Structure 1
Amino acid sequence: MTKNTGIQGRSNDQKQNPSVLDNFKPLLVDVAVPLGSYYLFKDAFGMSTFAALAWSSVVPAVRTVWGLVKERKTNALAGLILVVNLVSLLLSFVSGDPRLMLAKDGGVSSTVAIGILVSVVLGKPMMTAGMKPFLVKGDAAKEAAWQRLTSGAAAGSAAFLRKERAFSVVWGVALLAECIARVVGAYTIPLDTMVWLGTVFLIGAMGIGFVVGGGLAVEPMEKMLAAEVEAEAGKAETPSAAAVAA
């Protein structure tokens, strides 16, 4: 019974605190599936560049709709991305411009980037949801330390919150830069090249987010979290030592 309870507890924790990979699975699907389907439609089925781009954009839109229906709750960012996708697709069909079809992906990146940066301004950094499980690792002491640091109850709270915001800012700026590069590339680089190069831009932005965000925020936060756990443990031991001395 005890073992089953522990397994269920860990399972519930994983659902409530998704890992970094869990948070980026939808993004990876939105990159891999459209890229593969574009070349399948264009090379195997002989579709035009515009038609191949249009059909390869269907899966990400359907996935977003399905996610909203499955969760049965309002997700502002997912809804915004869906609107950007649909409006861009409609404009692309009206104009018949494949370059606009490619540029629309930059609109999605900018939507995510702006959402992240606005969340920082509002004091609820969006990228914390993916970072926290990596730092806390399901440890009760670290979870408690996290709560103290983010609530302002700990001595290092101000520095910890600055780093938390910095992590989201790095991701927001990286994705905004990716958006600009993708839009410029859509109108200056050959279409077939831009189809895969757009993916390279996105992977590059994610790489910057992980590396720069990790060095600037995650590593220092991990050290501050460990220090807070140690400080709290020291406070708990102090009364016992005093009692022994008495």
Structure 2
Amino acid sequence: MDKRQLIKDLLWDVGLPTVVFYLCRALGLEALPALAVGGLAALARVGYVAVVRRRLNGLAALVSATFVLLLAASLLTGDPRILLAKESILAGAAGLLLVGSCVVGRPIVYAVIRRLDDAERWEERWRTEPALRRHFTTLSLVMGTGLLLDAVVRGVLICLLPIDTMAGLSMALHVATLALLAVWVLWYRGRRVTR
């Protein structure tokens, strides 16, 4: 998939539920039904993309399953903030996975690269190159910490700010965090290459 298609998909994935939420609110729906309709629109997009591309994105399926679980919890409690916290929960889980992988074994970023390339060659490099181990550990720790901070900050803001404010702000903060992490990764890779 080229970069333009990736950015276009990201804009659809981020923008669609937010636009649908605010449209529903403008039409007079309460916060919880508006969030639910926005989430269902995103779920419909996942289904549409799966049918058109004939492939279900594993991450999209995880996000969809999380939405369904949190929608049920929101409906049972009547608290729309639970559903609004979906991205924070997912970011926190990803952050814990990234940081935890450094503590209990090999960094997950290394594991992903190893699976995409010649595993034996990567294993040999892992065993013999301390700089490579530091590189992947640093990548995983920084990205994981960034995602954990993002999740905590947005979680606190979801509790403190009005739902209508956080429906858009939460996603904007998450996209900003991902953009900052992407810029950092590019800087860090460039720094390693020039050394």
Q: TM-score, normalised by structure 2?
A: 0.74
Q: CA deviation at 1:38?
A: 1.2
Q: Given the alignment, which residue of 179, 184, 189 partners 1:218?
A: 189
Q: CA deviation at 1:21?
A: 6.7
CA distance in 1, matches of 2:19, 2:61: 25
Q: Given the alignment, which residue of 1, 16, 27 partners 1:33?
A: 16
RMSD, aligned α-carbons: 3.7
What is the identity, as a one-letter code, of the residue corresponding to 2:190?
E
Report percent identity of matched pairs.
Answer: 23
Match of 1:199 in 2: 171
CA distance in 2, matches of 1:154, 1:50: 49
Match of 1:187 in 2: 159
In the TM superposition, what whole-angstrom CA distance separates every residue of 1:150-208 from its partner, at most 9, and x where no partner exists? 34349983213321332232222111111111211111111221112112210221133
Q: CA deviation at 1:56?
A: 0.4
What is the identity, as a one-letter code, of the residue corresponding to 1:33?
L
Match of 2:79 in 1: 97
- Residues 100 and 214 (structure 1), Cα distance of their counterparts in 2 relative to 1, 3 Å cut: same
CA distance in 1, matches of 2:128, 2:4: 28
1:59 equivalent to 2:30? Answer no
In the TM superposition, what whole-angstrom CA distance separates every residue of 1:82-126 from its partner, at most 9, and x where no partner exists? 332221110111122122221233112222323333455542534
Match of 2:96 in 1: 114
CA distance in 2, matches of 1:112, 1:154: 23
Match of 1:6 in 2: none
What is the identity, as a one-letter code, of the residue corresponding to 1:59?
A
User: How many aligned positions are there?
Assistant: 190
Match of 1:83 in 2: 65
- Residues 116 and 58 (structure 1), Cα distance of their counterparts in 2 relative to 1, 3 Å cut: farther
CA distance in 2, matches of 1:119, 1:178: 19
CA distance in 2, matches of 1:61, 1:112: 20
Is the partner of 2:108 in helix, strand or coil?
coil
CA distance in 1, matches of 2:49, 2:109: 18
Q: Tell whether the 8 Å contact from 2:70 to 2:86 is kept in structure 1 after alignment.
A: yes
Q: Given the alignment, which residue of 46, 49, 55 partners 1:71?
A: 55
Match of 2:108 in 1: 125
Q: TM-score, normalised by structure 1?
A: 0.61
Question: Radius of gyration: which is bigger?
Answer: 1
- Identify which range, 121-130 or 46-55, moves more after superposition: 121-130
CA distance in 2, matches of 1:201, 1:106: 10
CA distance in 1, matches of 2:193, 2:167: 38
In the TM superposition, what whole-angstrom CA distance separates every residue of 1:113-146 from its partner, at most 9, and x where no partner exists? 233334555425348869xx9xxxxxxxxx99xx
Match of 1:172 in 2: 144
